Structures are given as structure tokens and as C-alpha cells.
Structure 1
Amino acid sequence: MSTFTLLLGGEVIHTPRLETQVAGTRVIAADSGIRHADVLKLLPELWVGDFDSAPDNLPLHLASVPKQRFPAEKDSTDGELAVSIALKHGATRLNLVGAFGGARADHAFLHLALAVRLAEQGIEVLLSSGAQEGIPLLPGKTAAFDYADGTLFSVLGFSNLDGLTITGAKWPLTAVEVPFGSSLTISNAVKGKLEMALGSGRALLLAHPYPLPES
């Protein structure tokens, strides 16, 4: 297995869990995502993008990372370009770090949908901000997760879902149909060993391994 961590432009916080997930991986930064490198104690082997949002005054060890520049007017985002480059370098597993939040909701949506498509192509994908993480669910497979009791999670559907089963949860489900756009699978909590199975459809688990800040 060849694992690449791609540093994207969304928000990232350092957590021990995230540090463990990215340790020992190959790293590519996408434009402003390079600002996460020092936070996670990573040194990218490549920095890609049009650099329209590249941070100023980077330390020398980051400013000197080899660059692959693309025109500002292009058909792919910097994040998708980073994914393509990682796959060309033999990636079979991807950590998309900084995939959520930030100023661009459209980019966040793209990363979620792209992760589902990549999973359908046989690429293992983890999306993470440190505080929350996403994992695509594949039809016909049972997925098990290591989250502690009380961990908040939701299942995001990108289509109608059929045969969704959730065990090890406060509100378990057994082979249910979930219409596209339903809130049925939003805001559940782990209770035991969380496992999920999906009959058909496109979906992604979104979990919060660390408690949400109180409002």
C-alpha cells in the first residue's frame, strides 16, 4: 500500500489521531494547504497549484519545496490536481487533510464527492480536519470503525440509499431505505463497536473523534 497525504486549503487542527494517520506517508501540498505542513510536522515532496492563495513569508524549508505550477484558468481545482498526481505516483490510499471548512464550501463539497468516486475506483480515502473525518461507504461491504463511545457521527447520502444497516450506535438501523436529502442519518452517536453496511447508493461517514466545542 502506498499512502499519500494531500494538504488541502481547509481548516486543520493538530490532534494525536491525525498525527498518527499521516506519519510516514508521502506528502503533496495543494496551494495554500502547505500552511498545514509545520502544524503536522510534515515536509511535502511537492507543492502544486496556481499559487493564487499561497501564504506569504513561508519558512525556508517550505518555500524551497519543489513546485509544479498550473495556470489559474484551468479545468481542475488544485486539490483535484494533487489527487491526480498522487495517483500517478502509485497512491493506493489517500489522506485528504484540510478537506472541510475554510472559505470555499464548493471545494469542501468537491472533496466529499471526489472521495466517494475514488473509493468506488478502489482507492482508500480518509478526509480529515483533525477535528472531524470522513470515510466513504461502499455498497456490498461491511465497514468497522474504531471510534469511542459517544462519538458523534452522521451518514451523508449522495443518492438514495438502500439497505443501510448501522450497529453499535445509539440509534441503530437495519436495512433501511434513506431518500436522498433525508436527515434520518444525521447526528447519531457511537455506542459499542460501530459497523455499517450499505446495499446500494453513495454515502460517506462523517465522524467527530473529538468532542465538539460547546456553543
Structure 2
Amino acid sequence: MKTLIIGGGNIDYDFALAFMRENPHDFVIAADKGMEFLRRAERLPDVIVGDFDSVSPETLAWFAEKKVEIRKFQPQKDSTDMEIAVLMALENGSTQITVLGATGSRMDHMLGSIRNLSLALCAGVPCSIVDAHNRIRLFGGPLTIKKEEQYGKYVSLLAFGEPVTNLTLRGFFYPLDGYTMTCDDAIGVSNQITENEARITFDSGRLLVIESRD
């Protein structure tokens, strides 16, 4: 089951609509302010979650009138609205999760959303944060990126927590061979794919992969 989560960050309206048309999902979760975009687009999610401290009462009432399931949480909670949405997606048996509206001006929220990728990784479920310029994913093992399918021109690799050992890159402008990358390392930023496919292998650790376009 493919699940789409709409968060309350900055959303490029035209991009998001096109993305939803081109990438249909089986289940849609609105996380708090993410429902503002859906109301404008006149799209109904399957469920809305959050403490609703950043959404207008009019928008909340609009979805209530449409009989959309609403799960309200207290503002004094241990989890962010996005974390609640990701956990719900996993509990519902999602086999793939995509998140829109997780990036924007609030760096604390964005970093928190990136950290939520580890929840999906631990569950063995592919999860991507996507906006008009970036696709962000977290991996615990080897991956291949086909040049024709990459999300933009640049590929940046960052160690996520513990060191990434024996990191080897093939098919990139800047190759690596058996490198140990730590969270203090910037050597993996702004690489480019030069062959039909790029191969990334490593023995241990978790690797944040950010594909970007200007």
C-alpha cells in the first residue's frame, strides 16, 4: 500500500498537484497544516492527524463537514504531527511512504521530519521526502540510482548518526573506494552521476541520500 503524507511545510502548489496526479497513492494522511493545501486543491485525505495549532478553524470545519476522519492530539505531546503521521502509515501496513510538505522555513521541523525517515527504515519500508527541488531518502544498505530516474542533477551523501564504513561509489564524477564517512564529513556533498547508473555500497551505518535540482 502506497501512502502519501501531506505536511504543513512549504508546498509548491503546482508541483504538488502534478506529483499527486503522476504518483497515485492508496492512502493519504494530512498532518495538521497540510490540510490547508488539500482544501485549496479540494482533495480529501483518508485521515487528518495533529494538534491543529497551525491550521485555521474554517479549514478544520470544512473537512469535518466532509466527514473526513480527524484524530486530534493534545499540543503537549511527545511526538510531532509528522511523526504521528509516519507511525500511522506504518501501522496501516504501508509498503511505501512519500512525504510532501516536510521542508520549508522551519529548520527544526524539517530536521525532525528527516529524522523520521529512520522510523520507516527500521520497519523496512521505503520512505521519501519530496519537494519541487529535492528527494531525500535514508538507506541502511547498498543502492543503485539510474541516471534516467534520478531526481535532479546533484546527489549528496551524508552519514546519518554512526559512521558509514567501506563506502564505495561507482558511476559518479567523484568516486570513493572503501571510505569511512562520519557525520562531520562533507565529502559526499554535490556529486553527479556520470554513467547510466550509479552504485553506492557500504558495510555498516546509515546513509542520507539527497537528490537535488536548482
Return the TM-score normalized by structure 1: 0.84
For residue 184 of structure 2, what is the aligned residue in structure 1? Answer: 181
| Residue 36 (structure 2) pairs with residue 35 (structure 1) | yes
Report deviation, 1:12.
2.2
The correspondence of residues 26-105 of structure 1 with structure 2, limited to 5 A, is 26-37=27-38, 42-55=43-56, 57-58=58-59, 62=63, 64=66, 65-103=68-106, 105=107
Report deviation, 1:74.
0.7
For residue 111 of structure 1, what is the aligned residue in structure 2? Answer: 113
For residue 129 of structure 1, what is the aligned residue in structure 2? Answer: 131
Report deviation, 1:60.
7.8
Contact preservation (8 Å) 1:93, 1:124: yes
Unaligned ranges ≥5, structure 1:
none
Match for 1:35: what amino acid?
E
What SS does the corresponding residue of 1:154 show, helix, strand or coil? strand
CA distance in 1, matches of 2:116, 2:200: 21
For residue 9 of structure 1, what is the aligned residue in structure 2? Answer: 8
Contact preservation (8 Å) 2:86, 2:116: no
For residue 142 of structure 1, what is the aligned residue in structure 2? Answer: 143
Contact preservation (8 Å) 2:86, 2:120: no
Report deviation, 1:18.
3.0
Contact preservation (8 Å) 2:158, 2:183: no
What SS does the corresponding residue of 2:158 show, helix, strand or coil? strand
**CA-to-aligned-CA distance 1:83-104 (integer Å, 9 cap, x gap):** 122222221211121222232x
CA distance in 2, matches of 1:127, 1:51: 22
The change in CA–CA distance for 1:5 and 1:173 in structure 2 (over 3 A counts) is same
Contact preservation (8 Å) 1:116, 1:204: no
Report deviation, 1:61.
6.2
Residue of structure 1 aligned with 2:200, choices 191, 196, 199: 196
Contact preservation (8 Å) 1:100, 1:129: yes
CA distance in 1, matches of 2:50, 2:173: 43
CA distance in 2, matches of 1:69, 1:59: 11
Report deviation, 1:168.
2.2
Aligned-pair identity (%): 25
Report deviation, 1:194.
2.4
CA distance in 2, matches of 1:201, 1:92: 23
CA distance in 2, matches of 1:78, 1:27: 14
Return the TM-score normalized by structure 2: 0.84
Report deviation, 1:19.
3.2
Structure with a larger share of its residues in helix: 2
CA distance in 2, matches of 1:132, 1:9: 17
